[in-house]
């Protein structure tokens, strides 16, 4: 009996730890897709070293958002839309609609990103690249074996992406003194850019993806809250470091005098920076990573968005759920083909749109943490985190207000 009990505890520990690691990886990879790469590269080209402050502020906002949302979801042991409906009847439906729309735009942007990857790899026309990528995303999702293969390959490609970014940053030798100075004391601040990159890393479905994964795996309740908090912190740290390293890499290319295209239909600022630093081989390799990130992010955005359908219909069968996800991707592909917008414009817009949606959910979750003891139980919510949550709510609402028009202009220009 002792051996059996010990083995059971060991297996439970391993499964519990794996759910934490999986949640970190899900959040980090969701936040490091084509939008992450394109937004960071484009705004570094546009704003120069001053964009470092935007990255710093976005990391701080990301930290507060994830810490609050992950805690509330795992403590209440309910999905985000269900929590919202309890707090304010009907608000869960609004939150679900906004997240689904945001995830839909993410899917459109990710298909655009995948098409940019194929364009870099083979010079394929962007619309045909979108057709190939969207169709392949549906086929991969529909095949269990293909999905498992994709999951394993994305771990390798994700590590390759990180290695490529670090290598390029080392090659171009960015002006560290200027970057650090502007990160702390910028010459100017572009709040529309900050709204966009916050939305691209923690807006829309992304801030709920990891929390819902923990919920599905049973890593919930006060006994797991410290692990959940550490997982949220690690995910934000990984994304934050990589965003800043990518910023340094592109900044090094910009100050060297290289010209990076942002306006043409085939513009791919991140890939151009890699071509400048690592040559044609680096450019092609980055195209592969960019395409794979677009495919996986398209599937991830569709999958997580469709989980919010349950607020409207609780008993969705696995078969119907799969059909919904496939239709979701197909509609995103159709709209990508119809829209007369550059892939770069789309990828930046989707981040901005989800940045506008973010404060709605954050306000609901901050309210739960502060006032709803019937949902939170006897858990003593950290006062410092609650205060930061309230301040972040106010900041994100204000940023959304001043950035609204600019965000929608991204559909036609940068």
Which has the closest alpha carbon to 130: 350, 288, 263, 298?
A: 298
Contact 278, 107 (CB under 8 A): no
Q: What percent of the chain has pLDDT over 70?
A: 90
Q: Is residue 7 part of a domain?
A: no
Query: Residue 19 falls within a domain, yes or no?
Result: no
Per-residue pLDDT, 257: 85
Q: CA torsion sign, 153 to 63 to 190 to 206?
A: positive
Displacement of CA 279 from its chain's centroid (Å): 28
Q: Are 138 and 326 in contact (CB under 8 A)?
A: yes
pLDDT at site 19: 56
Could you read off the pLDDT of 342-356 as tens digits, one per residue? 888 889 999 999 999
Q: Does 162 reside within a domain?
A: yes
Instruction: Select the more confidently predicted residue: 20 or 59.
Output: 59
Coil, helix or strand at residue 137: helix
Predicted local distance difference test score (pLDDT) of residue 331: 97
Structure confidence at residue 223 as a pLDDT band (50, 70, 90): confident
How far is Cα 274 from Cα 198, in angstroms, rounded to an integer? Answer: 24
Lowest mean pLDDT among 9-13, 206-210, 271-275: 9-13
Whether residue 4 lies inside any domain: the answer is no
Q: What are phi and psi of 89, to 5 degrees?
A: -50, 125
- Confidence (pLDDT) at 9: 43
- For residues 303 and 322, give the distance between their C-alpha atoms in angstroms, rounded to a whole number: 9
pLDDT in tens, 63-113: 999 899 989 998 998 888 999 999 889 999 999 999 999 999 989 999 999
Our count of domains for the chain comes to 1
Q: Which of 2-16, 200-214, 384-398 has the highest mean pLDDT?
A: 384-398
Distant-in-sequence contacts of 388-396, Cβ < 8 A, 24+ apart: 388/64, 389/64, 389/68, 389/362, 389/365, 390/366, 392/61, 392/64, 392/65, 392/362, 393/359, 393/362, 393/363, 393/366, 395/61, 396/61, 396/195, 396/198, 396/355, 396/358, 396/359, 396/362
Range of the domain at 359: 42-177+188-410
| % of the chain residues with pLDDT over 90 | 43
If pLDDT is split at 50, 70 and 90, which confidence band does 7 have? Answer: very low
Residue 29 resides in a domain: no
> What is the domain-level CATH number for residue 171?
1.20.1740.10
Residue 36 lies in a domain: no
Position 291 scores a pLDDT of 92
Instruction: List, for residues 166-179, the tens digit of each pLDDT value.
Output: 888 899 899 999 99
User: What is the per-residue pLDDT for 217?
Assistant: 73
Q: Measured between alpha carbons, how far is 188 from 391 in angstroms, rounded to an integer?
A: 22
Looking at residue 10, what is its pLDDT?
Answer: 45
pTM: 0.86
Six-digit token pair at 2? 């002792």
Is residue 264 included in any domain, yes or no? yes
Question: What is the helix, strand, coil percentage profile of the chain, to 5?
Answer: 85, 0, 15
Among 199-213, 278-292, 389-403, top mean pLDDT goes to 389-403
Q: How many CB atoms lie within 10 A of CB 403?
A: 21
């Amino acid at each position: 009996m002792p051996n059996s009990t010990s083995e059971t505890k060991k297996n439970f520990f391993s499964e519990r730890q794996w759910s934490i690691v999986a949640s970190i990886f899900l959040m980090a990879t969701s936040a490091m897709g084509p939008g992450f790469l394109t937004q960071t590269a484009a705004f570094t080209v546009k704003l120069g070293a001053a964009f470092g402050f935007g990255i710093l502020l976005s990391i701080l906002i990301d930290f507060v958002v994830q810490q609050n949302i992950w805690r509330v979801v795992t403590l209440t042991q309910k999905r985000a839309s269900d929590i919202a409906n309890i707090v304010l009847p009907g608000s869960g439906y609004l939150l679900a609609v906004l997240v689904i729309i945001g995830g839909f735009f993410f899917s459109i942007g990710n298909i655009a990103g995948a098409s940019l990857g194929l364009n870099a790899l083979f010079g394929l026309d962007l619309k045909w690249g979108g057709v190939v990528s969207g169709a392949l995303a549906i086929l991969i999702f529909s095949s269990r074996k293909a999905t498992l293969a994709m999951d394993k390959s994305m771990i390798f490609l994700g590590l390759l992406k990180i290695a490529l970014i670090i290598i390029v940053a080392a090659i171009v030798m960015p002006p560290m003194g200027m970057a650090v100075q502007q990160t702390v004391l910028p010459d100017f601040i572009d709040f529309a850019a900050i709204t966009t990159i916050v939305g691209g890393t923690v807006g829309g479905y992304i801030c709920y993806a990891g929390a819902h994964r923990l919920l599905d795996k049973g890593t919930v309740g006060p006994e797991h809250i410290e692990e959940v908090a550490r997982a949220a912190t690690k995910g934000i740290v990984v994304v934050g470091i990589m965003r800043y390293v990518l910023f340094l890499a592109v900044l090094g290319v910009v100050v060297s005098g290289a010209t990076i295209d942002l306006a043409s239909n085939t513009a791919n600022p991140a890939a151009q920076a890699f071509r400048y630093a690592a040559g044609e081989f680096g450019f092609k390799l980055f195209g592969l990573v960019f395409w794979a990130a677009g495919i996986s992010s398209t599937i991830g955005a569709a999958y997580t968005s469709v989980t919010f359908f349950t607020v409207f219909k609780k008993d969705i069968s696995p078969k119907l759920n799969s059909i919904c996800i496939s239709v979701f991707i197909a509609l995103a592909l159709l709209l990508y083909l119809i829209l007369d917008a550059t892939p770069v414009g789309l990828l930046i817009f989707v981040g901005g749109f989800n940045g506008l949606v973010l404060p709605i959910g954050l306000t609901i979750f901050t309210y739960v943490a502060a006032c709803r003891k019937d949902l939170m139980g006897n858990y003593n919510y950290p006062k410092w985190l609650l205060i930061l949550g309230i301040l972040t709510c106010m900041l994100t609402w204000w940023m959304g207000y001043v950035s609204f028009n600019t965000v929608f202009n991204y559909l036609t220009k940068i």
